[in-house]
Structure 1
């Protein structure tokens, strides 16, 4: 039986190489898992924001259609405008698609039922106006629900945050305030002296509201342009923002606040101009938001692929290094087994006779005169005289 010290060392080195490989791969795999988890979380969040943007795209026309419905109802038109029917249908499609993830279905179902009841309100200016105000407020609340549940209002990028604030907060409020301001102007002109003062207070409040929201909207768009990476945002906003500002200037002239009665005809024209401008402006803002979110989604997808690629390359290199090390260790072990050197220690145990083994061959042959003397034995030369093979 032979035992090689170098063989033991070689096997030990091979085992250490495998152990080190495992110790390197496990932390690397853990790091990759954490990167992928964070990447998946960000991708899910971006998808939720994209769902919210698409829902807002369907919701924006509804607020303008409701403003149109309010004005028509106050003028005695009982039938629901075609724009309301089309807008409700678009929002229903969006809610069927995203209502579960955005948690809007319950709120939209209640709002839809109230919109359906508007044509059946009956006569009475105050009653009609109050019913439309309630529906518009519920629609604004739905805007808030979408932006909150889609996390658009918590977006980390400044440009997307300001854009969503404009399209989901400032623009709908501006449309609603301008519509109420115009309709209240008509109501003030037609009211009796007894009911005019309360209406004038409401009219004054809506005039002030329009001024505030227009300032917030303009500032928000400017902040978005200053902080965006989009090459098209600024150019696309310029013409639509100019149209919006001209509509506001016309609305202020028609309101004629503090200088006499409001000019209803000017206000009606300004309302139509503002609704068109805000609709176009909202379309541009939503398109820019969708583009920015698509870019972010593409970046996250690239980072995911990059993480897999880096881990794959690292894994391949480690495996190759391990296999090379083990192969080299086998070569060394084979060389040592073929050429025993000074570092090899052999221990042999031989048994003769009882073990059935044969005695080693006598190197001196079978001639009795050629027998090798035993260790310690003094050869007998016949009385001490020298023996010679020659005859004297």
Structure 2
């Protein structure tokens, strides 16, 4: 009787695990490289430009200007460290007629000593320096009405700022603030407050006294909710809280009876409260279409309100029955592909980060 011999392979379970983990590691590295390639690609920027153009079709000229500022403002976070602008006399710029003081360049680590001799100044414009704090003697400038100090290293505002009773504009964008002094609430003539691109999680309740503020920009911070003081700024017309950590809006948003523009793009909100319909002055709302799934029907039905949904992930599926979004997104895809194909044809060489592919589309 003949017996056939059969060899049965026996594998060590650790060997199988190593093979599987190796494949998983390769897959993750491949995903990471693809993500980096997409970030470097020009497609994302072209896509954003077409979202902007589509949204502008239904806007008036002044509304387009506001939206343009909103979309382009966030590009400041990607600016590389500023290269100092040559200045032959190496002195700050003083415009005596308008009483304006200007300082620009990373060679400045503190304010010039002779500044104290010009207490008549009405405006300070200090940009892209290495100055980390404002001096306490700022109180000696009683006529100061504009304090514009973006893109510095300022991590604290002096409490003496509350004594600048004529201050109308305060811009401290893209600094290192983690808190705001309550004394700022004493600047009752303040009309414009911009604190974009800092590390703020809350604002002091004392800012509720700023009844003349019409423009409040606290985007690109770490707010989990709208500050209570913001809801008590009764003259507020524009509120920008985009790129924060909001999950919802308060049910008493209609306290802002003069609000015209509301920017809450790039947060974690899935719905908008019904009280927004009660704000009769509202003209524009900008939200993230990727996460928002529920909103009052009155916002879209009201022709006086521009309800703009911007998408970060254009591959997301559209809910069935939303014909308006579907039509807009289809037009967007067509215009986007047509523009991209035209730009590639005009180039002498293909971009180094692109991969040669073949595709067909119906435009």
Common topology (TM > 0.5):
no
Q: Which has the larger radius of gyration?
A: 1
Which range, TM-score by smaller chain? under 0.3
Query: Would you tell me which structure has more helix in proportion to its own residues?
Result: 1
TM superposition score normalised by structure 1 = 0.19
TM superposition score normalised by structure 2 = 0.20
Query: Would you tell me which structure has more strand in proportion to its own residues?
Result: 2
